[in-house]
Structure 1
C-alpha cells in the first residue's frame, strides 16, 4: 500500500544541553517505499533526526515508531536498518566481498546464503569483478557503491543515507544520484536521505522535508516545493529565486497589489495570510521573467537596469536592478541573447501575476 506509514515521529524533541532544542516537536510520517529527503542548512536538525532514527541519538521527548514498534530504546544493531555514511565506513582490512558479508554474518546466515547475497549485492552495484579488492584499492565512487551494497545486502525495510555523495566530485555525484534513484525504484526499499544540496534533493526524492531551526517548514514533492513554496525561507532555499519586498495595499480574492519601495505596483498571488498595510516578500523564479517585447503581455511590467552578464554555457544569467533592489536574476537561453545588450542598459521586465507569490516578510 503506497501510503502505508513505515516510520512515524510523534512530538519528538532533541536537546543536547537541556535548554536549546535542536529538533522541536517533530511530527513526521514516512511512507513505506518512498524516497524522503531531509533538506536544510547546517544546524537545522535534519541529521539529528536521522541519527535518532538510526539509534545513535535518543529523543529528549516524544516517540519514534518503525513498522509498528517503538524504537526509542532499541539499540542501533537491533533495528535492522541499513546505513550509508559520507565517509563510506568500510572496513579497510576486509575485502569488498568480506565487507558485504559482514552484516550477513552478524545475522548468523548460512555460508551458501551469504555467498549468494554477496554475489547479488556486487552485481546490483556493478562491481562483480572487484570482490577480492580492498577498499583502499578502489576509487571514491567504487567505495560508495560498496557502502551502498552493504547497506542493502541484508534486505532491510529502511535505508538511511547521511550526505553519502558529499565527498565525490560534481560529475560523479550527479551520476551516483541517478544510480541511487534507480536502485530505489528497482528494490522498492524505503530511503531517508539527508543532504544540504537542494539540487540533489530535487533530483532524487519522492518528497522533500525542508528543515529550519529544528522545524519542518514544508514537506512536499520537489515540483511543489519549487513552484509553490509555503514561505520565504523555502522559496529562497529551493532553487534560484528573486525576492521583491513591498507593502500590501489592496486585496482581491487570491491576489493582492503590492507597492514596492520605488512606488511601482505589483500584482501577486497571496500565499501568506496578508492584510492591507503588511510587509511581504514576493518570490518570482528567474525563468518566469520576460524581457522587452516579451514583457509587453505580462500583468506586471517594470523597468530594470542591466548590471552584469553571467555566462553558463546553455544560458546566460542577467543580473539586474529592479525597483532599487539589486541582485534580480533573469535566465535567458543563449540563442535568445541580443548581441546589442550592454551593461547599463534599461530594459523592460515582466511576469504574470500567477508566477509571483506574496509570502511572509523575509527576515533581514
Structure 2
C-alpha cells in the first residue's frame, strides 16, 4: 500500500519511492511515499520493527536509502551529510554531554555553526525560556531529573533554529506521569516555535495526544496516514483498528450494501448493521471494528440500531470507567467501557445484560 499526500509537490518533507534493505533481500521500508507539511507535527507510529525509526534515521542522514529520494524544502538531501541538513534531533537517551554545563550543551551546536558569540547568549536564553528551564544553565546534566534533561535535549535541538526537528522515542525513559506532562510540553513548544516536527513512537496514546497527523507503519509499509480523530474513528484496515486504541473485532459475511450502510451476518448467526466503506462487496468476508466506549448497556441500549444480549465474564474498576467483558455475537472477549457516572453497580459475573450500538459507531473493513 503506497501512501502519497495529494499536496506532495508543495510538501516540506517528501519521501519519494524510498526503499531500505540491510541485507539486499528483506525490505525494512517498502516503496515509501510520504509528504510532511511545513509547520505540522507528524508522528510515525508502529510496533517494533515496523520501519518507522529507519525512516526517521534516513531523514536525519544517519541511514542511507537503498533507493528513492528524500527531499527537504524541495531539495534532495540523500547525499547531504547529517550536519549540513539543518535538522535538530532529540534522542530517547537525551545524548547530553555529561562534562558540559547546560549552557555549554546548548552552545555547542551554535559554536559548530559559527554563530557569533554575542548572539549565542540570546539564543541560549531564548531556548531555555521556551522549555521553562531559565536559571538552570550553570548546572551539569547529572544534577537534573530525567524530565529536566529531556527538556534540555529539546532546547538543544531548537537553539540553532533548524528547519526541521526529529524526535526518536524521546519520552520512553520517563515514568507515566512525567511522560504525559512532557507530551503537552512538547506540543506547546511545537506551536510556539512553528518548526516542523517529525516524531517517532510506538505509544498510541502519545501519538493521538500530540500529532496533527499520524502515519501508521507495519512491516515497512504505511497502513494509513490521517488525523488522530480519523485514525481512531475510521481505520482503513484491521491492523490500524487493532493498533490504535482498544477495539472489538466481529467477523462475518456481507449480506447487503445500501449506500454507506451494510448488513453483516455474524459467524454466530446474528445480523449487524454497520457503516460500509467504498468497495465492500456482497458475499465477501469482513471484520467489523467497534470501539468499547461506543457500546451501550441496560436501558441505554433500547434506542440503538444493533441490540443483543451478552453474558458477563468479567468486570474491572478503572477509576473513571468500568471495563466489562462479555460473550456476545460469537466474540467471547467483547469489551465494553462504561463511565462510572452512568452505572450504579457493576453487573454480576455470569449474568445476562442487554447491549447495543448505533450503525454509525461500527465500521465494516475491506
TM-score of the superposed pair, with normalisation by structure 1: 0.96
**Displacement, 1:248?**
1.3
Of the structure 1 ranges 326-335 and 164-173, higher mean CA displacement relative to structure 2 is found in: 326-335
**Displacement, 1:339?**
2.3
Structure 1: distance between partners of 2:61 and 2:346:
61
Of the structure 1 ranges 90-99 and 338-347, higher mean CA displacement relative to structure 2 is found in: 338-347
Q: Which residue of 2 aligns with 1:199?
A: 205
5 Å-filtered alignment, 1:55-74, equals 55-74=61-80
Structure 1: distance between partners of 2:361 and 2:306:
10
Q: Which residue of 1 aligns with 2:311?
A: 305
Q: Which residue of 1 aligns with 2:21?
A: 15
Of the structure 1 ranges 74-83 and 108-117, higher mean CA displacement relative to structure 2 is found in: 108-117
Task: Indicate the SS of the match to 2:12.
Answer: strand
Instruction: Check conservation: 1:292, 1:347, Cα contact below 8 A.
Output: yes
The ranges of structure 1 where at least 4 consecutive aligned residues each deviate by more than 3 angstroms after the TM superposition are none
Q: Which residue of 1 aligns with 2:107?
A: 101
Say which of 234, 240, 248 aligns to 2:240.
Answer: 234
5 Å-filtered alignment, 1:19-168, equals 19-168=25-174
Q: Which residue of 2 aligns with 1:319?
A: 325
Q: Which residue of 2 aligns with 1:358?
A: 364
Structure 2: distance between partners of 1:273 and 1:78:
46
Q: Which residue of 1 aligns with 2:334?
A: 328
For residues 283-302 of structure 1, what are the alpha-carbon distances to aligned partners after superposition, in whole Å with 9 as ceiling and x for unaligned? Answer: 01111111122111111111
Structure 1: distance between partners of 2:284 and 2:146:
52
Structure 2: distance between partners of 1:310 and 1:238:
21
Task: Indicate the SS of the match to 2:90.
Answer: strand
Structure 1: distance between partners of 2:43 and 2:97:
27
**Displacement, 1:127?**
1.3
Of the structure 1 ranges 76-85 and 286-295, higher mean CA displacement relative to structure 2 is found in: 286-295
**Structure 1 residue 252 and structure 2 residue 258: aligned?**
yes
Instruction: Check conservation: 1:251, 1:276, Cα contact below 8 A.
Output: yes
Structure 1: distance between partners of 2:57 and 2:17:
16
Of the structure 1 ranges 332-341 and 159-168, higher mean CA displacement relative to structure 2 is found in: 332-341
**Displacement, 1:272?**
5.8
For residues 335-357 of structure 1, what are the alpha-carbon distances to aligned partners after superposition, in whole Å with 9 as ceiling and x for unaligned? Answer: 22242720111111111111110
Structure 2: distance between partners of 1:251 and 1:8:
38
Structure 2: distance between partners of 1:197 and 1:14:
24
Count of residues paired in the alignment: 359
Unaligned runs of 5+ in 2: 1-6
Q: Which residue of 2 aligns with 1:285?
A: 291
Instruction: Check conservation: 1:272, 1:359, Cα contact below 8 A.
Output: no
**Displacement, 1:265?**
0.5
Q: Which residue of 1 aligns with 2:4?
A: none
Instruction: Check conservation: 1:13, 1:22, Cα contact below 8 A.
Output: yes
Structure 2: distance between partners of 1:312 and 1:183:
32
**Displacement, 1:276?**
2.3
Instruction: Check conservation: 2:51, 2:220, Cα contact below 8 A.
Output: yes
Kindly tell me: are residues 10 and 158 of structure 1, through their superposed partners in 2, closer, same or farther at Cα, counting changes over 3 Å? same
Q: Which residue of 2 aligns with 1:216?
A: 222
Unaligned runs of 5+ in 1: none
For residues 117-176 of structure 1, what are the alpha-carbon distances to aligned partners after superposition, in whole Å with 9 as ceiling and x for unaligned? Answer: 111111111111211111111100000011000000000010000000000000000000
Task: Indicate the SS of the match to 2:156.
Answer: helix
